[in-house]
Amino acid sequence: MKTVPSQEKNHMCLPASFQGSSRNCRMVIDCTDIKVATPCQMDLQKQTYSVYRSMHFFKLLLGVSPNAVITYCGSVSDKAIVQKSGF
């Protein structure tokens, strides 16, 4: 699934632990980097290289709804995460 569930759908499946102050939560997101071997192709090297860490990484964004359903996963850059998040 690549879309965030509607508020109505989330409220129907919301676990008790989220019913209090977290009742408006629609997704818990986490970004992580996974170290990878240096790719052979130059364009892939550019996409995976981290100047900060001097290593190659695959970046993953994962979104999980409060009832533990994975609602989004994909590869995305930090810049794109910030631009698309609305923050």
- Which segments in the chain show pLDDT lower than 50? 1
Domain of residue 59 covers: 7-85
Decide: helix, strand or coil at residue 31: strand
Distance CA 23, CA 14 (A): 8
Q: What is the pLDDT of residue 76?
A: 66
Whether the Cβ atoms of residue 65 and residue 71 lie closer than 8 Å to each other = yes
Distance CA 47, CA 32 (A): 15
* Domain membership flag for residue 2: no
Q: What is the pLDDT of residue 3?
A: 65
Q: Tens of pLDDT along 61-85?
A: 788 888 888 877 776 666 776 677 6
Q: What is the pLDDT of residue 35?
A: 93
Q: How many CB atoms lie within 10 A of CB 48?
A: 20
* Domain membership flag for residue 22: yes
Domain count, the chain: 1
Q: What is the pLDDT of residue 47?
A: 86
* Domain membership flag for residue 65: yes
Bridge partners (DSSP) listed for residue 33:
59
